[in-house]
């Protein structure tokens, strides 16, 4: 199983709504399927030009290493050479800060990832989590 289009659209809409409700800066939300393909993405009015790439890198990095981007950041602090090598191995498409959240189904299988960028990394992550839980999937930030 992987994330379908309608599910991805709901995740994006809810993540954006969470951002508005919490008065976050303009967000960019990217939803990837389990293979790392973009299923849905939206950049809010006022998003800066690099936000898609950052949101994508947060989600893609989480999928690539099988851990949320918050955990990748912690690993980068402890093992910077490993994260640098992993970043090179995936063509530079890894952003090691919070905001990239794995999406798991009820059995624990990874079905995709969500990346959010635009506000603080903690706020980006909370918007991603809101989107994921809104579709009854499991948000794995670890």
Q: Is residue 142 pLDDT above 90, yes or no?
A: no
- What is the tens place of the pLDDT at every residue in 63-81? 999 999 999 999 999 999 9
Secondary structure (H, E, C), the chain: CCCCHHHHHHHHHHHHHHHHHCCCCCCEEEEEECCCCEEEEEECCCCCCCHHHHHHHHHHHHHHHCCCHHHHHHHHHHCHHHHHHHHHHCCCCCCCCCCEEEEECCCCCEEEEEEEECCCHHHHHHHHHHHHHCCCCEEECC
Q: Is residue 1 pLDDT above 80, yes or no?
A: no
Q: Which of 1-5, 43-47, 107-111, 117-121 has the lowest mean pLDDT?
A: 1-5
- What is the tens place of the pLDDT at every residue in 9-36? 999 999 999 999 999 999 999 999 999 9
Average pLDDT (100-115) is 98
């Amino acid at each position: 199983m992987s994330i379908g289009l309608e599910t991805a659209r709901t995740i994006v809409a809810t993540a954006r709504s969470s951002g508005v409700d919490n008065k976050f800066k303009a967000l960019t939300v990217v939803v990837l399927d389990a293979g790392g393909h973009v299923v849905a993405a939206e950049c809010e009015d006022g998003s800066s030009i690099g936000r898609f790439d950052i949101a994508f890198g947060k989600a893609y990095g989480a999928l690539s290493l099988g851990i949320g981007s918050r955990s990748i950041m912690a690993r980068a602090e402890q093992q910077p050479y490993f994260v640098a090598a992993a970043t090179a191995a995936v063509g530079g498409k890894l952003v090691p800060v919070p905001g990239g959240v794995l999406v798991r189904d009820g059995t624990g299988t990874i079905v995709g990832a969500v990346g959010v960028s635009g506000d603080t990394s903690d706020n980006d992550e909370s918007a991603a989590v809101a989107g994921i839980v809104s579709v009854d999937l499991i948000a794995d930030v670890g």
